[in-house]
Each structure stands twice: as structure tokens, then as C-alpha cells.
Structure 1
């Protein structure tokens, strides 16, 4: 049962080319199941002695798949899936098969359906970071904030720096992909901008 349930979740991760796939999920599920059975069998009077450490061990595995890429954090979903696969394995090892099956169905539905929901939300509104660098000409970068508003983006001002006659600023803007494209196209035509990150 551990191979089947954890394998189904692992297969979904494998098809999406995630870091932890079919083999990893099966091994985590089997390991959690076996540790739970051993904890019950040999931990007489203290049945949670071994099982309680599964959660700690899984934390290390989960941390290994989380990494930061530029301004985004990747691997959080995979880390959560590793954590819940271990919980499914523990449920099977403790004899709670119905709960394990129920949670597996919910997890699979979430993993399959949520990407479509996320795509729908992102097409309505997405957040991006922008950085503008230009030569300082006795004025700040406030005028560029008007361009954000004209493009229909909601913005949050970040850090602004002035050094050696060069002024730079960062913003986080939220809006539809169409509005982001409108803003980027406008900024790319500005000859005063020395560097534009988007």
C-alpha cells in the first residue's frame, strides 16, 4: 500500500520533472512505514520513540530541495509533498489505511488541479521586480513611477541609490501580463536608461 499510494504521488512529481520523483517518494513512504512499524513493535511502553524522529529526519530531506533563484524560492511544494508522503507512510505503518488513502486522493487532486488555478490567477495578476539605472541629472526616479501607473500596475517602491553620478531604483509591481508588457516596451524605448532589469 505504501508503494502504491506514495508511488502515485511520486509519479505526479516525476511527470512534472520535479527534484523528488517516483523513486524518492516510494523510498520515503516505505521508510516511514517501516520506522512506524518498528516503533510500535520494539518501542513497548514508548511507541513514539522512533516514529517521532521521522518528522525531524524528513525536515532535512525537505530542506535539501528548497533553493532560492534570483527573487523566487523554488522547491517548497516538493518539500511539502515529501513531508506529507512521510505522514502517509506513518499512517500505513500504524494501521490507518483509510486515512492514508483519503489524504493521498486529496494531495493528488491538489497537485493536479492547483497549477490550473495558479495559471488563471497569474493571467489576471502577477508580481515582478524592476530595476532602473540611469545617469543622475538633478532629479530622482519619481517620474518613472508615473509610467507604472499609466501601464495600470500597482507598485511598491524598493531601495534607491545614488553613487558616482549614477542613480538606481527598484520596484515591485503587480498587474496583468499585458500591463507588464506595456510598461516594459515603454521603458525599452527610453534612451536615458543605462540598465533595465525586468
Structure 2
């Protein structure tokens, strides 16, 4: 019971820090993950089974699945990575608690809490030396055209970037009132902004008599 209690206590402290700082995964989820990891690993330990390492690997996989639920993309920014990493480490604290490595479990929890508290303001203050070249951006080009020109416009969008600096990731059409079709194309770019290229595609579309309107936006 002492090991279970330790896993609950450490999960509570980790979750408390998350909840105080306004993150989505607070006390309850961290307690449950820490205690769950502890209980799953205690079963083979108590039964004398040699499946400890296999179950530990299953815990890592299972928590990884949970972590995917707190990661989401908002515009050009990916959010929730720090929360997911915290949940992953919380599971490790639970595993250490179940194995009887109490000092290691406490040390890991303390380091985790201090890392979240101290490193975040430090990371905000550090300015990048160079502009990141791996930034992903999605440019959405919207075109309204005559229905009989749909095939031509779709083909033009597919072949609009011969140098492959913009990657077409989505292309869809929908009917609108008045015998017209709205076409949306999403282009992914990596590195420097490609707004000028998106603008060039739109300008080319606007030269066609079958195109009623065209524009682009960053999503």
C-alpha cells in the first residue's frame, strides 16, 4: 500500500503544478496515470511473474496513446507537447514507485515539477539565434468558378507548383448557388514564408474568365 500511496502522492504533486499553471491535464489525470502505472507493474511483481519488462513497455505505449489526446494544432503552432511529456514522465514516476525505488521516484517527481516551473520562463526569455527553417505553414487557396471549368481549375492547382516548394495536401470542391463551384486547395510549406507564391497562384487564377473570385489565407 505504501508504494501505491507514494505513486498517488507524487502524481498529485505533479498534477497540482499543472493545474496551478493552467494546463489541461491537472491533478486527476496525473494521479490516475501514476497510480495506474504503479498498479499494472505491481501485479507481476506480486505474482512473481517475469513479465515485468513487457508490462512496463505496454505502459509506455498506453500512455503514449493518452498523450496524443492532449496534442493539437492551432494555426501554425502545435500545442500540448509539454503536457504530453509531463504525462509520460508521470507514468515513469508510477513505475519507479511500484518497483520500490522510492528515492528515485521522489527525485524524478521533484525534477519534473521544477523543470516545468523553472524552465518555462527561462525558455521564453531565450531568443532564437536564427529564424527556424523547419516551420510548417498551410496556405489555403479558395476559388469560385463556373461549374464547367471545375476540372480545369483543379488541374491548374495540382500543377501550380512545379518547383515543389509548396506541397498540395488537400483539394476539395463544393457546389454553390448559381451553377458555380467553390474549390479549396491546401498547400503545405516548410521553412520561410511562401506568401508570394500563394499570391502568384491566385493572380494566375484571376486571369481566367471562368473564375469568379479567388483568394488565399494562412490556416
TM band (smaller chain):
0.5 to 0.7
Match for 2:34 among 29, 32, 53? 29
Structure 2 distance, partners of 1:22, 1:111, is: 15
**The residue matched to 1:156 in structure 2 has which SS?**
coil
* Residues 1:7 and 2:12 aligned together: yes
Structure 1 distance, partners of 2:53, 2:108, is: 22
Q: What's the TM-score, normalizing by structure 2?
A: 0.59
Q: CA deviation at 1:119?
A: 2.4
Structure 2 distance, partners of 1:125, 1:8, is: 37
Structure 1 outlier segments of 4+, above 3 Å: 122-129, 194-197
* Residues 1:62 and 2:83 aligned together: no
**The residue matched to 1:19 in structure 2 has which SS?**
coil
Partner of 1:79: 84
Structure 1 distance, partners of 2:89, 2:193, is: 38
Aligned residues: 149
Q: Which runs of 5+ in 1 are unaligned?
A: 132-154, 167-193
* Residues 1:16 and 2:21 aligned together: yes
Partner of 2:57: 52
Q: What's the TM-score, normalizing by structure 1?
A: 0.64
Q: Which runs of 5+ in 2 are unaligned?
A: 1-5, 140-190, 208-214
* Residues 1:164 and 2:205 aligned together: yes
Structure 1 distance, partners of 2:130, 2:27, is: 33
Larger-Rg structure: 2
Structure 2 distance, partners of 1:195, 1:50, is: 50
Structure 2 distance, partners of 1:116, 1:47, is: 38
